[in-house]
Structure 1
Amino acid sequence: MSRLRYLLAFGVTSFAFALAAQGQDVRPSPASAATASRPAALADFDAYVDATRKQFDVPGIAVAIVKDGKIVLEMGSGVRKLGESAKVDAHTQFAIASNTKAFTAASLAILSDENKLDMNDRVVDRLPWFQMSDPYVTREMRVRDLLAHRSGLSLGAGDLLYWPATTYTTKEVVQRLRYVPLTNSFRAEYAYDNILFAVAGLVIEQVSGKPWADFVHDRIFVPLGMTESQTHAPESIGPNDDIATGHAKFDFKDLKPVAPMSWNNNPSAGGIYSSVHDLSKWLTMQLDGGTYKDGSGKEQRLFSEKRQAEMWSLITPIRIPEPAVPELKSARPNFSGYGEGWFVSDYRGHKLVWHTGGWPGMVSRVTMVPDLKLGIVVLTNQESGAAFQAVTMRALDAFTDAPKTDWIAAYAAGVKKAEGNADDSMKKHEAARMKGAKPSLPLDGYVGTYRDPWYGDVKVSKQGGKLSMTFSKTAQLSGTLEPWQHDTFIAHWTDRSLNGDAFVNFSLDPDGKVREVRMEPVSPLTDFSFDFQDLRLVPVEK
């Protein structure tokens, strides 16, 4: 998934540059300790990565750069978990989240090359029970459409079915698509989603006869020698496991570790853990046109050049916003869009093929410059898009002879503005609030079970003289309801790492009974995957 609204907003147009570091804590991989192959512009790269990490409060960062089929560097900076001494290195595994989408696209490419499916196949011909909320879209949805974010769904639609983790199965998630509203015309414009990658994963399983996780392991990880990759998030992390722990700023302020999330009901959208060492093999194969060397040194092919060209071709155009701050102007692309599991844009005359990923406590970016045969991987264990963008941009500049730019200051300005906008938003809410306005009903009048067609049941109960709200399928979405004004409350989730508090508005009928409940995030910085605004909760008759 793409974690955080401001991460998405800056994902295409903003990057940062780190200043010289002091007190470095950097661990190059033994295989890449020599720096002779680095361009002169990357002579201070280790210090730069460490400075970026410290500037944006990231406990650990891992980076790999490949060029012309060779590893330029592999390195780690910082620690796997705050308060512990274990260091991040090139072999430390991180959740790569939505960077998984390219593996799902590659899996479909493999099956297409084997003539087991066609990317223009109708989804209903593969999954006869598949259904969208519109019959036309159901009938016309093609396999390629599942990968291109142009279905007519809204941004992050349906994400609450699996984010935070729920008890639904993947098939149950997809079956509920028939109730998720469309907010735009089919193939009309870009809106990022995760749920259709769950459909893509089920298509892979139907065609191949294997679970998605087994297919990716057997047909991609094993051939490429990706022994430091797994398709399920670890339930727990032991002291000897070289796996990073995610970190988040609880209530947008206090940086703390977050519990690992196991996500098995939409893994094809974001379920892979990997290291930069392994992902350098993935990018080398991609930059070599789908080919790789097997254990004996013989060249093999994972997928055809034709299929790779289609994955890297722009299918869905993306509007390019003006930079949030003037300092980011030179990072603004001339074109931007989405292909099959990859974003496509440009920088300084070079086409970029890239993706970002976000997970509780971890965000990352994978970038390729095909005409330079350049690949860059940045994995982090904190929810700071500024950090991975900073490192990526520094590496891009080094290989494109770009003028030296103070990106760290530029991105810091962008983050400051985003946070300021969030503060302004809350001030506007406060100004519009009628102080002292009490709920229209006794608290017992709001108690009950409410049902949304696509999510399911949400319960409001009264405990100790206060209201609480619990999402029946989502253990983490449980908290108290604080009266705001009239029939509007704020849901404060017990898990403060979520940063997803929401306004809850109870609409009453003429007789003073609750007719409907609507929700929306309080902060504009809340992850777009908390798609509360799409819920239409109505009382369940007793």
Structure 2
Amino acid sequence: MMVWSLQALLFISALSVVSARIFTDEQVSKLETFVEGVMKCRQIPGQTVAVVVEDETWVRGFGLADIEQGVNVTKDTLFGIGSLTKAFTTTLLAMMMDESNGSITWTTKVKDILGPDFAFVDEERTGKATLRDLLTHRAGLHPAKYAISAGFPQNFTLAELQKRFRYLPEVHSFRDVYEYNNWPYALIGRIVELLSGEPFEVTLEKRLFKPLGMKHSRVLGKTISANDTGMAKPYYNVENKLVLTDPSVYDIHPLDAGGGIASSAEDMAKWMHFLLRQGVTEDNVTLVDYTTLVEVFKFHEYMPYGALASKPKYPVMNLEYGYGYAWYLSVYKEYNVSMHTGELNSYTSYIKLYRDFDIGIFVSESGPGSTYASFTENLISFYISDILLADEPWLNVSTACSYPQPWGTWLSTLQNNSDVTNTDVECLDCYIGKYGHRLFGDVDVKKGPGASLELFYGRLRGSLNTTDKEATFKLDLWEPFRFYARPGNATMLVEVIFHGFNNGKYSFVVFGYPHTMTFTRGISFYNEIIFTTINPEISGQGVEEMSSFLLVFASLCAAFSILY
């Protein structure tokens, strides 16, 4: 305890030096050199940084928002912030709780808000699940990331999602384990809609963006597109070339409440100030009661992902150990941190709050989206933290470019096409046809050139390559998701398995990771919905076969918190 007190005193002493201007001219020069050097070696087209200390703000744009037009990133350039959106959604929910005069709390049952017609996949969840279960990723439901990528019809609303939520399968026992999931936050978005009486994006604008002066922030797919003026254009490293990605893949409705916000360094600085003021605006208006807001930063769920860096292997410790409500709990060196990552295809973002010392750091980049660059924003936050902590930075441009070397090692280039045979498909008619799911949508398997097959699933489409296993294929995605299949110099194909052979045709097609999704012949997303519980085998639990590569990649994403 004495050690911590001494460290706190030293920190406060250092803080008094930087609070007036945050950084000295020399520190600014070193920080800019560091960021620009890391951007160059990691092929980052555009990046934005915001730092707040007490009432002071420092913001900078780096690189290009539009390579083709030569447009620079500024403090007002918008970036997709991915899962950093979740904290906005949770704050809106907290505001609704305050207004409910105690009738709604974090432990209120979901069905008590959504009504008796609402249901999860089983009676236990339907009867017991609370807002806390949704917020802490412990509901045990299918993450179904490919369904989000495939997209939904434009007229598919949160109200419709509420009706179909019973078709989201379970993958774990209720409250058994933590597994990150965007779908429960979409349901929180629906709850915010019901309690506010307005669409989620309207409530977000009225209740947070406008009062905080976040005048540039928008919702992707609703109030702005990724290729609109003011956005940092999203680039991805595809086959070792930086490619502008299709703006349509950044519309993730109806899951906007889980990852749809586009914001700028200037606006995110205002957001961090608001959080560090404990729910009070710059104009001294309380938007959410402190006793309600503080709950989002508390430990509510153990998170077993471990450390991005730890002693003695690394010079410092950076340990993530728990989850609150849309905030990870971590320790950098000996300091408590509230943080979150956000990943939406090309965009990668990071927010870090040292709440004990009124410090906030935000970093966002517009590419290149490959795993190699995915933790760059973390490294920049480390460098900034060290300056504010009055410590000698343990990273320089050289080690940040080689990271995790010289301390650790990185996986060799990932390839999972060694089992591809590319032979003619026997019995094309056995596979051809439409397969559906009540929530995830429809898959259409068609005849390709010669004796080959092609798969069409919303925005996900590509060729089905034969493998050395019967009825097992590798999906090689085309545009607009070519970057899934060819990130950097890797090859990442999706395993697709057909099963349930009956009367000359397969009944089911399954794919996805870390849990497979099952689509059934004869069922369609567009059929009239019959509100019943689901056979687990048909819902996506029946087949859990994955290549060793997919297991490695899923674990990798978890380790570095590569999230929506």
Q: Tell me the TM-score normalised to structure 2 length.
A: 0.78
Which of 241, 245, 256 matches 1:254?
Answer: 241
What's 2:107 paired with? 120
User: Match of 2:330, SS?
Assistant: strand
What's 1:484 paired with? 467
1:121/1:35 CA distance change after superposition, 3 Å: closer
What's 1:79 paired with? 64
Residues 343-364 of structure 1, C-alpha deviations (whole Å, 9 max, x = no match): 1111122111111111121111
Q: After the TM superposition, which residues 428-467 of structure 1 pair with which residues of structure 2 at under 5 Å, given as runs?
A: 430=418, 433=419, 439=425, 441-465=426-450, 466-467=452-453
1:47/1:536 CA distance change after superposition, 3 Å: same
Q: Which has the larger displacement, 61-70 or 181-190?
A: 181-190
Residues 89-137 of structure 1, C-alpha deviations (whole Å, 9 max, x = no match): 1110111111110000110111111226322211111112332212111
What's 2:484 paired with? 498
**Match status 1:185 vs 2:173:** yes
What's 1:373 paired with? 358
CA distance in 2 between counterparts of 1:104 and 1:243 reads 22
1:497/1:114 CA distance change after superposition, 3 Å: same
Does the 8 Å CA contact 2:500/2:506 hold for their aligned counterparts? yes
1:183/1:418 CA distance change after superposition, 3 Å: farther
Q: After the TM superposition, which residues 118-517 of structure 1 pair with which residues of structure 2 at under 5 Å, given as runs?
A: 118-128=105-115, 129-154=117-142, 157-167=143-153, 168-233=156-221, 234-235=224-225, 237-238=227-228, 241-251=229-239, 253-260=240-247, 261-294=250-283, 299-321=284-306, 329-334=314-319, 336-382=321-367, 383=369, 384-406=373-395, 409=399, 412-414=402-404, 417-420=409-412, 422-423=414-415, 426=416, 430=418, 433=419, 439=425, 441-465=426-450, 466-471=452-457, 474=458, 476-485=459-468, 486-495=470-479, 496-499=482-485, 501-507=493-499, 509=501, 513-517=505-509
Which of 501, 508, 518 matches 1:536?
Answer: 518
1:228/1:100 CA distance change after superposition, 3 Å: same
Q: Which has the larger displacement, 399-408 or 365-374?
A: 399-408
User: Match of 2:175, SS?
Assistant: coil
CA distance in 2 between counterparts of 1:52 and 1:198 reads 35
Report the alpha carbon displacement of residue 406 of structure 1 after superposing the two structures with TM: 2.7
Residues 188-227 of structure 1, C-alpha deviations (whole Å, 9 max, x = no match): 2211000011110111111111111111111111111111
1:289/1:533 CA distance change after superposition, 3 Å: closer
1:386 aligned partner, one-letter code: F
CA distance in 1 between counterparts of 2:95 and 2:74 reads 32
Q: Which has the larger displacement, 98-107 or 508-517?
A: 508-517
Q: Provide structure 1 residue ranges, at least 5 long, that are not aligned to the other structure.
A: 1-33, 521-530
CA distance in 1 between counterparts of 2:98 and 2:384 reads 34
What's 1:65 paired with? 51
Does the 8 Å CA contact 1:82/1:256 hold for their aligned counterparts? no
Q: Which has the larger displacement, 329-338 or 220-229?
A: 329-338
Residues 362-390 of structure 1, C-alpha deviations (whole Å, 9 max, x = no match): 11111110112100111110123222112
Q: Percent identity?
A: 25
1:389 aligned partner, one-letter code: N
User: Match of 2:362, SS?
Assistant: strand
CA distance in 1 between counterparts of 2:315 and 2:181 reads 28
Q: After the TM superposition, which residues 95-110 of structure 1 pair with which residues of structure 2 at under 5 Å, given as runs?
A: 95-110=80-95
**Match status 1:92 vs 2:113:** no
CA distance in 2 between counterparts of 1:247 and 1:327 reads 36
1:468 aligned partner, one-letter code: E
1:370/1:417 CA distance change after superposition, 3 Å: same
Larger RCO (CA within 8 A; separation ≥ 6): 1
Superposition RMSD in Å: 2.8
CA distance in 2 between counterparts of 1:510 and 1:212 reads 45
Q: Provide structure 2 residue ranges, at least 5 long, that are not aligned to the other structure.
A: 1-18, 486-491, 525-564
Report the alpha carbon displacement of residue 88 of structure 1 after superposing the two structures with TM: 0.3
CA distance in 2 between counterparts of 1:492 and 1:151 reads 32
1:505/1:407 CA distance change after superposition, 3 Å: farther
Which of 12, 30, 34 matches 1:44?
Answer: 30
User: Match of 2:32, SS?
Assistant: helix
2:213 aligned partner, one-letter code: G
2:302 aligned partner, one-letter code: P
CA distance in 2 between counterparts of 1:480 and 1:105 reads 40
Report the alpha carbon displacement of residue 187 of structure 1 after superposing the two structures with TM: 2.1
Report the alpha carbon displacement of residue 324 of structure 1 after superposing the two structures with TM: 8.1
Report the alpha carbon displacement of residue 158 of structure 1 after superposing the two structures with TM: 2.9
CA distance in 1 between counterparts of 2:390 and 2:274 reads 25
Q: Tell me the TM-score normalised to structure 1 length.
A: 0.82
Does the 8 Å CA contact 1:42/1:395 hold for their aligned counterparts? no
Does the 8 Å CA contact 2:460/2:477 hold for their aligned counterparts? yes
Does the 8 Å CA contact 2:349/2:363 hold for their aligned counterparts? yes
2:243 aligned partner, one-letter code: K
CA distance in 2 between counterparts of 1:355 and 1:512 reads 50
CA distance in 2 between counterparts of 1:99 and 1:436 reads 41
